[in-house]
Structure 1
Amino acid sequence: MKVLIIAPSWVGDMVMSQTLLKQLKSKYGDETVIDVLVNSWAKDVVKRMPEVNQVHCNPFAHGELGLLKRFQLGRQLASFAYDQAYVLPNSLKSALIPFFARISERIGFIGEMRYGLLNTAYKLDKTKLPLMIDRFCALANNGQKPVQIDYPNFTADLNNQANVLKSLALGLEKPVICLCPAAEYGPAKRWPTEHFASLADLLQTAGYQVWVMGSAKDADISAKIMEEAKLKANLHDLCGKTNLVDVIDLLAAAKVVVSNDSGLMHVACAVNVPVIAIYGSSSPGFTPPLSDKAQIIKLDLECSPCFERTCKFNHYNCLQEITPSQIFDAIVLPNS
């Protein structure tokens, strides 16, 4: 069996898609060949999934149709003679390449005018498949939720971890707490920067070092945390100084990771470190942290979860009213 996975674009969704790969290996056997078509920035992350045989890079920008280019890529992939393709995004564009590749079985949920592009298409019942991982794995189980779903797991590269620590002049003499303050979806998923700064002060006073993690796009957020924090001796802004693979290995060194509902939350869960997951406008009923070591912090206000990018009341109370001391206690008390 040779399978092509059309991977999601979001980091968290991509991490969660490993549950489907595990499902396919269980269904068809370890000899199953699984290749993944993924955005170029994520190719090295996918290589950390032991189920993956080969990675193909998706050259398209977000929202780009590029019909001729998709046809050409599809014809290139035809030479691999895949038996199945699983199309995880719900867009029409994502279903074009396996159609052009003439893959005999093209599997996904009915989405954006995809009749004909998919020939094994399931209607999504959100009540029966409430979680993202339920939906991914149902594609390999005749549209039904499997009895068992194994969580994602990444193995840290300790050699790369040591090299990155050296390049950033960081050590592990003090226990590490990683803060992941961004969430690409919008501010209604971001715990306030002043709260992260106050938490960083509390942690440093308690003897921890604090690493602020994220991409170059998150530099404005991390800069505000650095500016608002009173203590800076053991506070390190790493946003934009590492690639996503390096972040995987650095998160694996943490005593605890504090994160919004974001891609890095799912990465931290996959490397099996304790996670404090802060939820505002979103819900762990859809994209929970996939780890037995995760604590979920949320307030269940009358207006949440609203799933909005910004707060329609402009108060963000679902996040504002989660205090730094509450998160500090969640970190320290289990280890005291």
Structure 2
Amino acid sequence: MKILVVGPSWVGDMIMAQSLFMSLKLSFPDCLIDVLAPAWPLPLLDRIPEVSKAIVIPLNRGQFGLMTRIKLGRQLQAERYELAIILPNSWKSALIPFFANIPLRTGYRGECRWGLLNDIRRLEKNALTMTVQRFVALGLPKNAPQPPGYQEPSLPANKAGQEAVIQKFGLALTEKILALCPGAEYGPSKRWSPGYFAKVAEAKIQQGWQVWLLGAAKDKEAAVAINKATQHQCRDFIGHTSLTEAVDLMSLAHTVVANDSGLMHLAAALDKNVIAIYGSTPPELAPPLCKKGQTVFLNLPCAPCRQRVCPLYPVGHKDHTQCLAGIRPEQILELIGD
């Protein structure tokens, strides 16, 4: 059986989608799973053993590209997929499976996708409270019990990748390495203060830990602030690594402190000691899916607002939202332990 999964655009969601791939392999042990997604999360698929092939959507974020989608769909007709599972809820995400003539096309109702999908599911948010459950449910029959069970995502450490980053960056490994991930793609309402990250870094450096900063190029401002506050004692990898290199570096860490972000889910899939900080989003929706994961959330009356920018502050205000400012570095240090 050949299955095409239209994957999510977010790194964290792509990690959680592995639970769907695992579930499909349980239902159809001999199935081949190809994943269609934008270019930026695709490198992860090389590390996910359930995936047979990654197919790139050659469009930029937010680009509609109708003719590109139609052309790619027609090209994929030769693959003779039997089932398509469309994880995003957008109308455009269902176009390629439709033009690929895949006979069974499953997804949630989304943006009026009648016709594009022929197995339309109603998303019962009260039953499926977690993103991972929503993904897994799409790979099961409509009448399957909800919420479904799921396996936690798992990315095996890549020894060759580890050795490559050790050599490239000239690393001298110690027993205790703390990785700090100050970014969050969604917006500032999910980003803990760089000053607080710096206080955590200072305390652990004094205890003999190495502190690494990981993230995307757009997190550089936060990294500069953290390093300035710590007299440049942190090793700053932000903007200097590919996504797979960031995975390999994180696999060498002992503990990871991160916002609700893609790197947090990567750390969980690597089975690290993860401390996940939540502000505008509820931890119940997308917690770190590992036994070592811990979440910090103040549960204020105004939270979770799910807004990119705190609605209680004017746009561009220098202060962080109270849901994040109220989480003190001492709390995080206590969770990290010795």
| Partner residue in 1 for 2:316 | none
| Partner residue in 1 for 2:9 | 9
Work out the CA distance in 1 between the residues paired with 2:4 and 2:174: 44
Report deviation, 1:312. 1.8
Work out the CA distance in 1 between the residues paired with 2:120 and 2:334: 47
Work out the CA distance in 2 between the residues paired with 1:41 and 1:282: 23
Confirm or deny that 1:259 pairs with 2:264. no
Q: Which amino acid aligns with 2:308?
A: R
Q: Which amino acid aligns with 2:271?
A: N
Work out the CA distance in 1 between the residues paired with 2:229 and 2:302: 29
TM-score by structure 1 length? 0.95
Report deviation, 1:173. 2.4
| Partner residue in 1 for 2:141 | 142
Report deviation, 1:42. 2.2
Work out the CA distance in 1 between the residues paired with 2:281 and 2:124: 20
Structure 1: gaps (5+ residues): none
| Secondary structure of the structure 1 residue equivalent to 2:47 | coil
Work out the CA distance in 1 between the residues paired with 2:177 and 2:150: 31
Structure 2: gaps (5+ residues): 314-319
| Partner residue in 1 for 2:163 | 162
| Partner residue in 2 for 1:326 | 331
| Partner residue in 1 for 2:172 | 171
Confirm or deny that 1:99 pairs with 2:109. no
Q: Deviations over 1:212-235 (max 9, x none)?
A: 000112112211211222x433x1
Q: Which amino acid aligns with 2:334?
A: D
Conservation of the 8 A alpha-carbon contact between 2:136 and 2:148? no
Conservation of the 8 A alpha-carbon contact between 1:86 and 1:108? yes
Q: Which amino acid aligns with 1:293?
A: K
Report deviation, 1:43. 2.1
| Partner residue in 1 for 2:42 | 43
Work out the CA distance in 2 between the residues paired with 1:146 and 1:283: 18
| Partner residue in 1 for 2:115 | 116
Work out the CA distance in 2 between the residues paired with 1:257 and 1:278: 11
| Partner residue in 1 for 2:19 | 19
Q: Which amino acid aligns with 1:72?
A: K
| Partner residue in 2 for 1:197 | 198
Q: Which amino acid aligns with 2:118?
A: N
Pairwise CA RMSD? 1.2
Confirm or deny that 1:219 pairs with 2:217. no
Q: Which amino acid aligns with 2:105?
A: R
| Partner residue in 2 for 1:298 | 297
Report deviation, 1:147. 4.1
Conservation of the 8 A alpha-carbon contact between 1:137 and 1:146? no
Work out the CA distance in 2 between the residues paired with 1:92 and 1:39: 16
Confirm or deny that 1:69 pairs with 2:68. yes
Q: Structure 2 vs 1, CA of residues 113 and 147 (structure 1 numbering), >3 Å: closer, same or farther?
A: closer
- Equivalenced residues, count: 330
Work out the CA distance in 2 between the residues paired with 1:147 and 1:285: 15
Conservation of the 8 A alpha-carbon contact between 1:174 and 1:207? no
TM-score by structure 2 length? 0.95
Report deviation, 1:249. 1.2
